[in-house]
Chains A and B, each alone.
Chain A
């Protein structure tokens, strides 16, 4: 045992053996437990009829659809919420990040206060706040809050105009246009506001990473502050901003799973919630759910690496 190479091999074999033994034990116990509860393993259950309804779905879905279909509905809702919140959070985050660096004392203080307040309050609490305290206590459709007479906000959700019709009150509810359910509005609002506070910090750090000389040179060329930002500083800052920014996008996508707490039918809520409860397929369902998030994370990380390789700063040689 005095040979370090031999010691290394023995140590590794021991650890691998331990991990494999633990895995085998858990696997055996799980199979044992599942068969005792009369639950069949495998993916066969995905074809069975789901029998529950889903509040909002992008693809046709009804109670007679299969569990596999329910999974797709959940996945699409996750992607929808994430995509919309990412766009909104990016806009808000850039505005606040730039505002934090504004020469205007009041504006930069306000932006700092926003960041310090929002970052230090748990996201779940913010989701609850928007859902239970704000959207659920909005007026009934008849007393809707009108937004320029084309969009309406009430306790049933946000009614937006679509290409062919504008929402209008008919009887007790609105007709025409399309409706965003309150769960969706609350989730997108909370995710946007929360993530924007992190994006603002990313943007600030990125802009500050561009040397003073760059902005001085830009002003010396006679560019205004706006032009200097747009043409000189932001393009260079983006190189620093993009990697942590994608990290925030990933966080946002993962955080959208908190929708389970307000029953917005995204992946975790539909699949790891309703489907799991009905089928008892704990291992398969949790496994698939985790695999989906892992696949999203890894593919974005891969894309990020490619982007980094292309934009990496090559100094003068």
Chain B
């Protein structure tokens, strides 16, 4: 009772605010719960099952495989599951504090896993049916774009950050120009560049596919942001550390690799995670250049003549999925922060 008094009704203004907030909740929550849960339809297989008000989760249920795998052939989807299962099993130990041989697991994930995953997704050898990238889609494509973007932008970003802090004027100029250019323009223009200009860059007859171009675009874009995050960490390392490394006779790369970067990267973990979250949200932009990622599949399903009028269900579902991913990443980084 005293808690109520202290926190909600301590003064007339406060009481008025409380009542206004309660009213807001009353206007928003009950209708939403009615729509999403109480009046919702979950049984059935066609839109006829969704007569009357309420959300039509039948739509989501029927389209779920497409939302997850895009147009990946049904018979081959086990390969996608396998690739992600390997990833989860291999990466899980990294989240356990003080698990042995983390370095080797990391090396496996960075060097060996991409080859395995690429082989499983693409196929075409050892009797596996080939699945061209234009059939990839849905959540699977979103995760592929996000994970390769993260894996690529971190090392690239570190390189550009080192370049920007370098004592060599030419290296510094090139790094600054790249970083400021990428940070000054919207991602979508970079993606347009990747999709319409990259083909012009290559000699005649040579071409590479749309997904790869988008991946390169995203990687370059987010590496510029990553570089600025890492630079913050580099600047936080006291001069004494550099001098001590020099006194030990370490060269530039060993100073950076053994002394500076391990400390700098630890400081900027929150910033790196924030960049990862931004990158994850930014993957949705690939739909503008014609790739069918998770949101792209939702959008395609919402405009399907058989299911017109259920766009809201699609968007609410998509929002929930993106939210769960982003929110859990940010919560994890907060626990990581408090642990170190």
Per the bound structure, the CA–CA distance linking A124 and B311 in Å amounts to 14
Is the CB of B188 closer than 8 A to any CB of chain A? yes
- Secondary structure type dominating chain B contacts: helix
Contact A34 B184 (CB under 8 A): no
Shortest Cβ distance from A116 into B: residue = B327
Interface mask (A274-311 → B, CB under 8 Å = 1, otherwise 0): 00100000110010011001100110000000000000
- Complex Cα gap A133–B277 (Å): 25
Given contacts A120-B322, A122-B284, A122-B295, contact A103 B315 (CB under 8 A): no
B37 at the interface (CB under 8 A from A): no
Min CB gap A127→B, angstroms:
10
Contact of B204 among A8, A16, A33, A294 (CB under 8 A): A33
Contact A121 B21 (CB under 8 A): no
Bound-complex Cα distance A261 to B191 (A): 13
Within 8 A of A (CB), among B283-306: 284-285, 287-288, 295, 299, 302
- Judged by a CB distance under 8 angstroms, whether A128 is at the interface is yes
Contact across chains for A290 and B185 when beta carbons are under 8 A apart: yes
Q: A104 and B21: CB pair below 8 A? A: yes
Task: Indicate if the CB atoms of B21 and A286 lie closer than 8 Å.
Answer: no
How many Å from the CB of A22 to the closest CB on chain B?
Answer: 10
Any chain B CB within 8 A of the CB of A272?
A: yes
A interface, how many residues as a size bin? 35 or more
**Given the complex of chains A and B, what is the CA–CA distance between A246 and B148 in angstroms?**
31
Chain B residues bordering chain A, tally (CB within 8 A): 56
Q: Is the interface of A mostly helix, strand, loop or mixed?
A: helix
Judge whether A283 and B322 touch: CB under 8 Å: no
| Alpha-carbon gap, A274 to B40, bound state (A) | 41
Contact B312 A133 (CB under 8 A): yes
Interface status of A15 (Cβ within 8 A of chain B): yes
- Residues of B contacting A276 in the complex (Cβ-Cβ under 8 angstroms): 192, 196
Chain B residues contacting A19 (CB-CB under 8 Å) are: 174
In the complex formed, the residue of A with least CB distance to B201 is A26
CB B241 to nearest CB in A, in angstroms, measures 20
CB < 8 Å: which of B7, B18, B24, B299 contacts A128? B299
**B200 engages A33 (CB within 8 Å):** yes
Q: Which of B7, B24, B284, B285 is the one whose CB lies under 8 Å from A105?
A: B7
Name 13 A/B residue pairs within 8 A (Cβ), A-sorted: A104-B18, A106-B8, A120-B326, A121-B323, A128-B315, A132-B299, A254-B186, A258-B285, A286-B193, A286-B196, A290-B185, A294-B184, A297-B184
Please report B residues at the A interface, Cβ cutoff 8 Å. Answer: 7-8, 10, 14, 17-18, 21-22, 24-25, 167-171, 174, 180-181, 183-189, 192-193, 196-197, 199-204, 277, 281-282, 284-285, 287-288, 295, 299, 302, 309, 311-312, 315, 318-319, 322-323, 326-327, 330
User: Which 6 A-B pairs give the minimum distances between C-beta atoms?
Assistant: A120-B326, A297-B184, A105-B7, A254-B186, A12-B170, A122-B281
Q: Taking beta carbons and an 8 Å cutoff, which residues of A are in contact with B?
A: 8, 11-13, 15-16, 19, 26, 29-30, 32-34, 36, 102-107, 110, 116-117, 119-126, 128-129, 132-133, 137, 254-255, 257-258, 260-261, 268, 272, 276, 282-283, 286, 289-290, 293-294, 297-298
